Amino acid sequence: MLNLQSQFANILLGQRLKHDLFNHSGVLIIPAKTVITEEHLQIVTMHHIPISIHDIEEIALTEATDGCQLIDRSVLIIQDLYERVNYRRAIPLLDIKTHILPIIQHTVKHTDLFTLLSWLKSSDDYTYRHMVAVSILSTLIGKWLQLNETELQDLTMAAVLHDVGKINIPLEILNKPGALTPEEFEIVKQHTKDGYELIKATSGTTMRQALVALQHHERQDGSGYPLGLRSDNIDLYSRIVAVADVFHAMSSERVYRNAAPFYTLLNELYQFAFGKLDAKIVRLFLDRLMQALVGNEVLLTDGRRAIIVMINSHDPIHPLVRVGDAFVDLSKCSIQIEEVLA
């Protein structure tokens, strides 16, 4: 349920009320189909009427909709939905299909990759923004792998739900600013099994969605958890979500560390293709990421500014760049990309 004194009131602004809203005496205070304004929120607060995502109609999406605002809204909605999962021990699947999936599908369709990545960077709302980010990145990878529409919808839902088991992790562990103790890490690892069981118990979900919750921390070389699975024993959707999960985690600001520099991010993800993550998916992701940056200005590790000119198909993370009137092949020197400039 939404606390209208909090930031979650922003979710309701501009949305259309699905049902008539009555006060505790049975008096109609806001009729159905009303577009909610600040005045309506004040009325609801004054009457102490509980209201949730379930009480508003599907968000209308157009190409003119501001993508950053949509992502911010989806983060708030995800937080509300997960709080309800924690309270009711049930996944509000219909609400996710109605309010989250359309935003993800719209964002993937209408936003360029570099702009999207800048919107998905996290700070104090990392836990819930991460769920949205992994869902969007997984859907993009699914499209690049040419999954059909049914498969894409299944993958997107799986990605939305991949961390649902974290509702059982105490906040002092989930948000701990330092390293976890071995005992705390064992508690964290349990979220894969808890998520699997919760999704399996939810009517309308699929087994592949449950498997993603269980397997997204498995690794190609068997070093992952909870089962130590290897290679093709890990479902394709789980391998896709694993790449999205790792990339967003490394590229985000966290309470215990800063986001990795761009060159570190690329190099680490590239290294993960040699044993940890699916090599085909990592290579596809890096290639698409770098192609999206052609023409962008970057800051190099030697302090100079450059423009990315061309991507080397054999070494996509070290492109050809232009510095002034000169061209520099980053695959043939020690200079790397420190930062992509807006």
The CATH number that applies at residue 13 is: 3.90.105
Chain centroid, CA 136 distance in Å: 6
Peptide bond before 316: cis, by omega within 30 degrees of 0? no
SS3 113: helix
315 forms beta bridges with 312
Domain assignment present for 264: no
Domain assignment present for 242: yes
Q: Which residues contact residue 38 at a Cβ distance below 8 angstroms, ignoring those fewer than 6 apart?
A: 13
Residue ending a domain, among 219, 236, 259, is 259
Entry pTM:
0.83
Quote the tokens at residue 97: 């299909």
Are both 70 and 44 inside the same structural domain? no
Are both 238 and 155 inside the same structural domain? yes
- pLDDT tens, residue order, the chain (342 aa): 444 444 556 667 667 788 888 888 888 888 887 877 767 778 888 888 877 666 776 555 554 456 777 888 788 788 878 887 887 778 989 889 888 898 898 888 888 887 888 778 755 577 888 999 999 999 999 999 999 999 999 999 999 999 999 999 998 998 888 889 999 999 999 999 999 999 999 999 999 999 999 999 999 999 999 999 999 899 999 999 999 999 998 888 765 567 778 888 899 999 999 999 999 999 999 999 999 999 999 999 999 999 999 998 889 999 999 999 999 999 999 999 999 887
Q: Give phi and psi for 321, each to the nearest 5.
A: -125, 160
Number of domains in the chain: 2
Domain assignment present for 314: no
Radius of gyration of the chain (CA): 22
Q: Are 322 and 278 in contact (CB under 8 A)?
A: no
Residue ending a domain, among 34, 57, 80, is 57
Are both 32 and 19 inside the same structural domain? yes
Quote the tokens at residue 148: 């059909």
Are both 16 and 156 inside the same structural domain? no
Domain assignment present for 338: no
pLDDT of 8 reads: 55
Domain assignment present for 325: no
Are both 9 and 70 inside the same structural domain? no
CA angle 138, 253, 1 (to 5 degrees): 70
pLDDT of 222 reads: 97
Q: Are 218 and 238 in contact (CB under 8 A)?
A: yes
Are both 5 and 74 inside the same structural domain? no
Domain assignment present for 312: no
Are both 154 and 178 inside the same structural domain? yes
Token pair 């040419």 is at which residue?
146
Are both 4 and 109 inside the same structural domain? no
The beta strand positions in the chain, using DSSP E, are 21-22, 28-30, 297-300, 305-312, 315-323, 326-329, 337-340
Are both 75 and 201 inside the same structural domain? yes
Q: Which residues contact residue 320 at a Cβ distance below 8 angstroms, ignoring those fewer than 6 apart?
A: 308, 309, 310, 311, 312, 327, 328, 329, 330
CA–CA distance, 102 with 108 (Å, rounded to integer) = 10
Q: Which CATH number goes with the domain that contains 124?
A: 1.10.3210.10
Domain assignment present for 286: no
* Domain assignment of residue 225, given as a range: 62-259
Are both 232 and 127 inside the same structural domain? yes
Are both 190 and 99 inside the same structural domain? yes
Residue ending a domain, among 259, 291, 310, is 259
pLDDT of 11 reads: 63
Q: Are 36 and 80 in contact (CB under 8 A)?
A: no
Domain assignment present for 26: yes
Are both 125 and 232 inside the same structural domain? yes
pLDDT of 5 reads: 44
